Amino acid sequence: LLISPLIQNLMAALKCLPGVGPKSAQRMAFNILERNRDAGLRLSALLQEAIHKVKNCESCRILCEETICRLCSHHGRDRSILCVVETPADVLALEQAGGYRGQYFVLMGRLSPLDGIGPDAIGMGLFQERLKEGHIKEVILATNPTVEGEATAHYIAELVKARNIRATRIAHGVPFGGELEYLDGGTLARALLARLVV
Ligand SMILES: [Zn+2]
């Protein structure tokens, strides 16, 4: 009752963001209204513009303003290798790591039948179209090493192999700069399984 309806609505709306609970929402709302009104206006204008203009690339599903994103239309990228990731943030991470010169396919999630996320929701129709183009020689499955990420990788690998295309999985194991004694058993076991000849 102490808080006006408009402020209450703003707090409720802010809670739609990941990691924002009632306390953070309250802090954000008051911060904007008390001393950050210009930044708040800019935020609201940019939100509107981004939501209206940003869409999914029609080739890899990454978020972009163009019909076909810059990575997909870049002439310097190797069209014979396709790397499958869960989110646009994963593409950024791989690009920042450097060393990969192929193309991407972004699932925008992972298979999760219990949550109603099936093959259609992760773009498998479009993915199959990409495989049919004929120039892809290898698909790298770079989904996360979680139960759902592994299941998704397995599912996609079957589709890829059915078209006689090579399917590979990114290695998981000992992090660079890490120490064996602090690793969890699952990671260590996988590192042993994925060992390389030196
Ligand atoms: Zn693209």
Query: Distance, CA 60 to ligand 1 centroid (Å)?
Result: 4
Pick from 131, 127, 132, 137: nearest CA to 81 = 137
Q: Residues of the chain whose pLDDT is less than 50?
A: none
What confidence score (pLDDT) does residue 187 get?
87
Query: Distance, CA 56 to ligand 1 centroid (Å)?
Result: 8
What confidence score (pLDDT) does residue 177 get?
86
What confidence score (pLDDT) does residue 28 get?
96
Q: For residues 38 and 8, what is the distance between their CA atoms, to the nearest angstrom?
A: 20
Residues in contact with 180: Cβ distance below 8 Å, sequence separation at least 6, in sequence order: 174, 188
Pick from 169, 176, 166, 171: nearest CA to 195 = 171
Query: Distance, CA 91 to ligand 1 centroid (Å)?
Result: 11
What confidence score (pLDDT) does residue 161 get?
96
Straight-line distance from the first to the last Cα atom of the chain, in angstroms, rounded to the nearest whole number: 69
What confidence score (pLDDT) does residue 94 get?
94
Query: Distance, CA 105 to ligand 1 centroid (Å)?
Result: 7
Residues 65, 139, 148, CA angle at the centre, nearest 5°?
80
What confidence score (pLDDT) does residue 23 get?
96
Query: Are the C-beta atoms of 72 and 83 separated by less than 8 Å?
Result: no
